Chains A and B, each alone.
Chain A
Amino acid sequence: MTLVHMPVPDAGTLARRDEIIAGLGQLVPKRRMVTEERGLKPWESDALTAHAQLPLVVVLPETTEEVSRILAFCHANGVKVVPRGAGTSLSGGALPLADGVLMSMMRFNRVLDIDFPNRAVVAQPGVTNLGITRAVEHRGFYYAPDPSSQLACSIGGNVAENSGGVHSLKYGLTTNNVLGLEMVLMTGEVIRLGGKHLDSEGYDLMALVTGSEGLLAVITEVTVRILKAPESARAVLVAFTSSDNAADAVADIIAAGIIPGGMEMMDHPAINAAEDFLHVGYPRDAEALLIVELDGPPVEVDDLIGRVEAIVKARGAVECRISTSDAERLSFWAGRKAAFPAVGRISPDYLCMDGTIPRKAISQVLKRMRELSAEYGLRVANVFHAGDGNLHPLILYDANKPGELERAEAFGADILRLCVAVGGVLTGEHGVGVEKRDLMGTMFDETDLAHQMRVKCAFDDKQLLNPGKMFPELSRCAELGRLHVHAGALRFPDLPRF
């Protein structure tokens, strides 16, 4: 049994299941609803497979209008709704609720507008991340944020999670690359934010919705900016005998004013798992491997490669390979990109953590993690976005061994507390979901959390959209809204009142 518990389902809703299904049947054709238990099974979890729950029913709307009607219906009937994209969330954001409608957005799968002059693409939320790049690459453009799951994950899910990728170091996260959104509130109201212009107007609601994990609104359209691909890219593969040296090299590269297109690190267990899986030629005895990619015009790339080489050698690199062709560059990346499945091969199950720390704390945190690994008796492999201090410790466990999942979760929680203690955060790109929900208190105090929940109350005061995720406790909006007025102190006797 996992350590994280979901809110108790509402018995009234469960009892009204047939009625709710009939009501939804008036709004979408039956063939776009899943109600039978066998059919519901594939929807029971996202990529955080430690958690599973059959939803009340699955609906697959195709138009904004349908989304609006479904949400309005659920709002009127007090029924919870969980939005779902491709289901690749690693934090359980798309975990169904027994008393909730699971709304799959994957029928929204069209690219609506490719606007090269304005360097923007308008897409429906179910279009995959890679699908956007595919739609524009014939003219040398691409969409910059590139999560490793880009072949599968949806742009709507990316917005909901504010996803990042290897290229985020230089080109930003989803939030820095979204220009406009169409969204539907729980009431069914349709709202558009931004567009093809650069700064959106009024309150920055787009900032709030990006990364809101399906708790604020259902996203029905996304406008992203696309970039012209850099002229060339080369990568350096560097091996170190100590992870401290690797971490120091990372800091030195940034300190030299170089912001690489990507800068990733793998530790000894991860290197070997990748090597076992793909035989890409990673040095097996290295304690740490660094992949640094530089992009831009060839003269710049060549120049920077030289600078990076000098830096890593000064930090005691034992091996430094420089890619001489695109094929070689991609081979450097192959092992890194396949790190998760590679680790999946050496262990029946794994938990992928996602804390971010200041770069200077990398070696300290890796060291403590090794100690914790010994204490918990569980192996851990590290692959991470070193350039921005975003760690991905993979904790290996076997769910079939009693108590191992709980131990893995406790180990993971310790790692995240450590991240916060050194000045970092609980999650860099995977989201809080159900996984890190109960740890929110290590980073935020009650007042901090109350202010976040007030955002929720402005968008969804009945708290019907994806409840049980992100916040450790569900507080009622009416209570949160109460203003504690201190007795009129009359400090401003001379000021005009309202």
Chain B
Amino acid sequence: MDTLCPSSEAEVLDILAAAIGDCVPLAPTGLGTKAGIGRPVKHARLDLSGLAGVILYEPEELVVTVRAGTPVDEVVELLAGKGQQLAFEPPVWRTPDGGASRGTIGGLVAANLSGPRRLKAGAVRDHILGVRGVSGRAEAFKAGGRVVKNVTGYDLARGLAGSWGTLAVLTEVTFKVLPKAETELTLAVAGLAPAHAVEALTGAMHLSADVSSAAHLLAAESGAPFAQEPRTVLRLEGFVASVDARAEVVARHLAPFGPVERLEAAASADVWAGIRDLGSVGEAGEALWRISLPPASAAVFADRVAGLEPRRLAFDWSGGLVWLWVDDRLPDLGAAVIRAAIAVCGGGHATLIRGQDASRSRIDVFEPQPAPLAALSARLKAQFDPAGILNPGRMGGER
């Protein structure tokens, strides 16, 4: 496939201007960790990994500005050096060559996929302070700023999160960063049925214990971190004395559900890295869905999709996020059953994270939208990319 490799915003601008003139659609690309998500598109690749580097990092201001092609792994490491972090816990994905990576900053924002701490700290989009980018009009613009409190004009910087490269090519992103917790600790209970697990998770969120992550892995035949026995886990983070005090509160809450195991810092971090990276779990012949739901309904959802004979099922975000692996020979990969179940649960959405190209071209990989919403989204697309040069079709419909 053809690839263009700009190394500056000016070059991006130039390429997009030419693409408009020549009617050539482009697929903005980073490290390819999320290339398998969304409708397969055959556009020429606009490889942004050359737009890399940290522009500004001011730990005392809790802010970092980086070029969009910068690997997230590098930013995570840079921040860790100062005891700070991207609090939404960017997940690690598989790269096309079989490696593992968090992808690029631009891809992270374009996909808005967050890890387990999203429950407490918010999503990628919640940490975006500002961006620079080039829209499909081949015009460079900025939005937002580099301070946390900013309501000057529309919140376009945040508004570009989750747009999968269909509105603008991001060239620079400013994030709010936060101090890393002094320590973490996980409390775990084994063997709970889904309904019980959701009860345990929901109840934990009703404690004044500031639970930062809450997940449940159902039993599965294969694929670490899954095991033969289901496991319910709750994470506490913060200052040492505080974590200990809160752990007592949470342990008391969990006691009626079964014996409570306590995982200290390192073991705890391992568990959550596994849950954070669930998107890279799976074997050949499996498709993977990621479903956003009202948290308390996760068990009802699991029950409704039982007929699909899931290979694995996991609840994160206290039930608000469900990962579902199915046999990829299912005719629609279970889309109809999954979406009907979501409706029963009170709304949400399902995204196909992994599936064969043929299925991804046929099935709605993103949640289909009611007509007025789809029309509004299409109008936004038309405003930012009237010639349709940015990833047309990637999100399905007219996006």
Contact = CB atoms under 8 A, between A and B. Distances in A.
Contacts of A175: 126, 155, 158
B372 A485 contact: no
Q: How large is the interface on B (under 10, 10 to 19, 20 to 34, 35 or more residues)?
A: 35 or more
B208 A211 contact: no
B179 A204 contact: no
Interface in B41-63: 42, 44, 58-63
Given A254-B60, A452-B154, 18 more contacts: A117-B295, A119-B206, A189-B372, A198-B317, A203-B159, A203-B162, A208-B154, A208-B159, A228-B206, A230-B210, A297-B242, A300-B241, A358-B58, A358-B61, A451-B384, A486-B17, A486-B18, A492-B24
A211 B142 contact: no
Contact of A452 (B143, B162, B293, B297): B143
A16 to B, nearest CB: 29
Interface string B250-293: 00000000000000000000000000000000000000000011
A398 interface: no
Contact of B22 (A162, A193, A495): A495
Nearest to A304: B239
Nearest to B389: A498
Contact of B147 (A389, A452, A494): A389
Q: How large is the interface on A (under 10, 10 to 19, 20 to 34, 35 or more residues)?
A: 35 or more
A196 interface: yes
Contacts of B180: 257
A486 B21 CA distance: 6
A14 interface: no
B107 to A, nearest CB: 16
Contacts of A357: 147
A135 interface: no
B122 A176 contact: yes
Interface string A82-103: 0000000000000000000000
A497 B23 contact: yes
Given A196-B294, A204-B158, A447 B139 contact: yes
A79 interface: no
Contacts of A487: 21
Contacts of A497: 22-24
Closest 5 CB pairs of A and B: A300-B242, A257-B179, A428-B149, A117-B296, A207-B158
Interface string B357-385: 00000000011011011001101101110
Contacts of B147: 356-358, 388-389, 423-425, 428
A454 B380 CA distance: 8
B22 A488 contact: yes
A127 interface: no
Contacts of B294: 115, 118, 120, 195-197
Interface stretch (B89-97, B302-310, B344-352): B344-352
Contact of B159 (A140, A251, A255, A455): A455
A426 interface: yes
Contacts of B145: 356, 423-425, 443
Interface string B310-323: 00000001001100
11 contacts: A118-B294, A119-B205, A193-B373, A197-B295, A201-B349, A204-B112, A208-B155, A254-B60, A431-B151, A452-B153, A490-B22
A154 interface: no
Given A120-B294, A202-B377, A457-B383, A300 B21 contact: no
B135 interface: yes
B245 A201 contact: no
A222 B393 CA distance: 31
Contact of A492 (B22, B158, B370): B22
Contacts of B208: 140, 228-231, 297
B163 interface: yes
Contacts of A470: 153
A118 B135 contact: no
Contacts of A211: 151, 154-155
A257 B182 contact: yes
B2 A495 contact: yes
